[in-house]
Structure 1
Amino acid sequence: MAKHLNDKDINNVVELLDDWPTDTKLTWDKLVEAVQHDYKLTTTRQTLQKQPRIKSAYKEVKEIISGSPTLSDKGKKKLPASLSAAADMIEKRDRTIERLEKENRALLEQFHTWLYNSDLHGITIAQLSQPLPTKDE
């Protein structure tokens, strides 16, 4: 039985997508299998697709895989194994950075929307900045 994904699960799946080899076909079924294998998390394609962060990361990796070979892909055959591994690490980090920058921009846009709407409805910054209640309250 598939379970609901928490923030940690979503982060794990997105990181798995960041590390997805660009020379390996990506499908939702393969992603479900990889999540099961790497994180012992039983889930479904539909559960994964419902999460915007996962869906966005999946789409980005799919575009990279289906796109034309990059310069680093062409040059990998000439590189020694250690340099090829380093190039793969750099490529994965670049993909992670790009995804995180997109997520950050989306969150900033959401924040500005909330700020505008709160101001429009007379909610002050002080009210918005109140700490969350603890379990004791």
Structure 2
Amino acid sequence: MAKHLTDKDISNVCELLDDWPMDSKLTWDRLVEAVAHDYRLITTRQTLQKQIRIKNAFTEVKALVSGNSPKAIAARNRHLPSSLKAAADQLEKRERTIARLEAENNKLLEQFHTWLYNATQHGMTVEQLTEPLATKQQK
């Protein structure tokens, strides 16, 4: 049975997808193999697919790798000298990472607003929501 993924595991898999080479085919099985190789984390396709952050990152990278996105088409049409190709690839990876993180941040903000709205609808105040967590009493 595959182990449950921690937040760090999910972040590692998303980073792995951000760095996925554009000339290499992306499948769930290859991703599972890459995770096992790079992070020594034995998991399954199903475990990875359950995580929405991983699934969204996979879908985005899959579209780029398969050439079905405008960015992929533009990249194919761009002819650069080899000295600039490495820098362009690095820049493209960073842009993908930034775009993914911004999308994740926006989804978290939407979730926060939903929780805040629902909490106020059920009579909770902002002050109650911002109270610090109770500390465990020492014995």
Q: TM-score, normalised by structure 2?
A: 0.90
Identity %: 65
Alignment correspondent of 1:6: 6
Structure-1 separation of matches of 2:73 and 2:136: 52
Cα deviation per residue 1:44-96 (whole Å; 9 max; x = unaligned)? 001000101001100111111122643333334x412x311110110001101
SS for the counterpart of 1:70 is helix
Conservation of the 8 A alpha-carbon contact between 1:28 and 1:45: yes
Alignment correspondent of 2:78: 75
Alignment correspondent of 1:128: 129
Structure-2 separation of matches of 1:36 and 1:89: 24
Change (3 A) 1:135 1:73: farther
> C-alpha root-mean-square deviation of aligned residues, in Å?
1.5
Structure-2 separation of matches of 1:121 and 1:31: 43
Conservation of the 8 A alpha-carbon contact between 1:35 and 1:42: yes
- Structure 1: where are the runs of 5+ without partners? none
Conservation of the 8 A alpha-carbon contact between 1:14 and 1:57: yes
In structure 2, give the amino acid aligned to 1:129: T
Alignment correspondent of 1:30: 30
Higher relative contact order (CA 8 A, sep 6+): 1
Q: What is the deviation of 1:136?
A: 3.6
Q: TM-score, normalised by structure 1?
A: 0.91
SS for the counterpart of 1:20 is coil
Alignment correspondent of 1:21: 21
How many residues were matched structurally?
A: 135
Structure-2 separation of matches of 1:9 and 1:136: 31
Q: Does residue 40 of structure 1 match 2:43?
A: no
